[in-house]
Amino acid sequence: MDLYRKKLAVLDLTHGGIPIAKKLADLGNEVYAVDVYGTVDPGLLLELGEKHGIYCSKTPLPASGFDQIIAPVHLDPAYPMLAGAVAEGKRIISHHEIVGEILKKDYRLSGIRTVEVTGVKAKTSTASLLADMLSRRFEVVLHTSRGLEAWKGGVSSLISRGLSITPGSMLVAVERVFEAEIKPDFFIFEISIGGTGTADLGILTTLSPDYGIANNTTLASESKLQLIRNAKPGSTLLINFRAEKALKAAKESQAKTLTFKDPFNAELFGTEEKATDFSLEIGYENKPLSLPSELSASVIHSGSSELPVPPASSRSVLYFRDRGAEIFSASLLSGYNTSAYRTAFIAASAAASELGLESRAVVAVLEEFKGLSGRMQEKEVNGISLIDNSNSGMDILSAEKALEYALLKKKDEKKGDIILVLGEEASQVCEGLPPASVQGFVEKYGAKCRQIILVGERMKAVAAKNIFYAGSLPEGLSKASELAEKEDIILSSVKCFR
């Protein structure tokens, strides 16, 4: 794609459009940046014009005046500039695609291998585990919703915090890494709703549960398929074998396609087994659990989902298989919900194996892993149990599964009541947590909790008997600590940046 002396319109400055506009201007193009949602500070728009020569507008411009229109995949197609481009037969380029074209022209990336991780669930945990694994042999830079980190020898150091996982933020991440005079062997990017086409290895964690984007005119899964459709020839795709739509698209790709299967996937029950390249089984105390024959004795039924129940005082053991052959086993630490990481365990292990990492390094990471903050990690706060499930990817299904886990813990460890902290710190975090979904949740599960503390302004629309309201996650946790007794469990499920 020719990115020189073109007249380009970059739409949506709220979700990664600003770094894209800056880079395109630096490459010698005439760039117009459109603040679709009107949320960008006027001072910043003025700076874009004065420092970078970018023309900024808070209102739509005629699409006919531009060589190309660049827009995020989630923008409503009824937005006038998109509708105008379609009417005139102009191609609309996604933020993912344009970032890929920009990165291809960055000579500084020569010799650095890149990994992109997308999907609905397990993106951050997969990318983080893989970074730890690869760092046992290589120097790695990891960009996730947790921050921009340098990894070496199993130890991370923070380069920068506050970047989103929009494709545009990848450009900022690369700049900050080179400004810090770091040249890693690997870049690992967690990326939302798709891929740029520059990855040497693209990982698709899950496509479900699917959801609508672009004012519900399309599904998020369709946009995530950019990871497959944009994959460069000779690269490798690692895909969850349940993502049938992705596997179908991969048949037309020139990339190598590998599949993985995680254990205890509720969608597998009653379905025909499929051959996969990588698979994972979980057992306890060196006793492997076969699927599905032994499963019925080891699950609880709670609503529509099923969770494995480990024998009392047992440690979980992972058994990793590559093309059917058992390659290694790893005994996991307690102190976090291992079932919440099942997809990440297999995806990261498979990726590390495919990238040539020795098994002992993979095993070391799995056996040392203690869970990620905000992703079903267990802690104690003033002697009270806290299950931390607050993160940017938290949704109502995640809240349900976290409550199921808390109820199991309450039963197995003879704990007291559950104090639930639920809601959102910012409605723009990955489309927020819809109050209607929260209302349905408290109506269905509210009686299982002694108290529910709802976080966020929008949650004031939710009504129930046992509810308090809080303006932020810290305020919600503080209130929960006041209400909780020694044997109670505080469950934190708030959608937020961390």
One-letter identity of residue 110? S
CA-wise closest residue to 65 among 81, 79, 45, 52: 81
Q: What gap in Å lies between CA 67 and CA 155, rounded to an integer?
A: 46
Q: What gap in Å lies between CA 274 and CA 291, rounded to an integer?
A: 13
* pLDDT of 176: 97
Helices 359-368 & 123-135 angle (0-180, nearest 10) = 130
* pLDDT of 304: 36
10-residue stretch averages of pLDDT, the chain, 498 residues long = 90 96 96 96 95 96 96 96 95 96 95 96 95 98 94 96 92 97 97 96 93 92 95 96 95 96 55 76 62 31 39 73 91 85 95 96 96 83 90 85 89 92 72 85 94 94 90 94 94 86
- Domains in the chain, start-ordered, CATH in brackets? 7-95 (3.40.50.720), 106-368 (3.40.1190.10), 377-495 (3.90.190.20)
Q: Which helix (H) or strand (E) holds 223?
A: helix 220-224
* pLDDT of 292: 36
State how far the alpha carbon of 334 is from the alpha carbons of 243, 292, 319, 347, 485, in Å: 30, 24, 17, 21, 23
State how far the alpha carbon of 413 is from the alpha carbons of 290, 407, 410, in Å: 26, 10, 6
- Asked if residue 401 lies in contact with residue 341, where contact means CB atoms within 8 angstroms, the answer is no
* pLDDT of 363: 97
**DSSP-derived secondary structure for 43-112:** HHHHHHHHHH--EEESS---GGG-SEEEE-TTS-TTSHHHHHHHHTTPPEEEHHHHHHHHHHT-GGGTT-
Strands 316-322 vs 418-424: parallel, antiparallel or unpaired: unpaired
* pLDDT of 47: 96
* pLDDT of 394: 84
* pLDDT of 290: 42
Q: Which helix (H) or strand (E) holds 244?
A: helix 244-250
Q: What gap in Å lies between CA 491 and CA 489, rounded to an integer?
A: 6
CA-angle at 146, arms to 371 and 375, nearest 5°? 30
CA-wise closest residue to 317 among 366, 380, 360: 366
The answer for residues whose C-beta is within 8 angstroms of residue 235's C-beta and 6 or more apart is 199, 200, 201, 202, 255, 256
Helix (H, G, I), strand (E, B) or coil at 336: strand
- Asked if residue 282 lies in contact with residue 308, where contact means CB atoms within 8 angstroms, the answer is yes
How many contiguous H segments (helices) and E segments (strands) does the chain have?
14, 27
The residues that bridge with 434 in the sheet, in sequence order, are none
* pLDDT of 273: 57
* pLDDT of 192: 93
* pLDDT of 93: 97
